[in-house]
Amino acid sequence: MSNRKLVCYMRTLESFFHKRWLLLLTSLVLSEPTLFFSILAVVLEILLRSLRFR
């Protein structure tokens, strides 16, 4: 019973954080689009490099 409650709690927490992140990202895009796209470019570059070295 407690295990099921914990799983439910974790799921609600996860969805809450996803919503918060989406709100944060959308506000960032709307307020600072150039900053957002530069960060996105850096993240994509790092991801591509890590994939290449594998």
Looking at the structure of the chain, the number of domains it has is 1
Place 53 in a pLDDT band, splitting at 50, 70 and 90.
confident
- Confidence (pLDDT) at 1: 57
Q: How far is CA 13 from CA 8, 18, 45, 54, in A?
A: 9, 9, 30, 33
Q: How far is CA 8 from CA 3, 15, 20, 21, in A?
A: 9, 11, 18, 20
> How many CA atoms, within 13 angstroms, populate the side-chain half-sphere of residue 21?
6
Asked whether residue 41 carries a pLDDT value surpassing 90, the answer given is yes
Place 47 in a pLDDT band, splitting at 50, 70 and 90.
very high
Structure tokens at 21: 């992140």
- Domain holding 38, by residue range, is 2-53
12-37 average pLDDT score = 86
Q: Report the distance separating Cα 11 and Cα 18, nearest Å.
A: 10
Asked whether residue 31 carries a pLDDT value surpassing 60, the answer given is yes
Type of residue numbered 27: S
Asked whether residue 51 carries a pLDDT value surpassing 60, the answer given is yes
10-14 average pLDDT score = 86
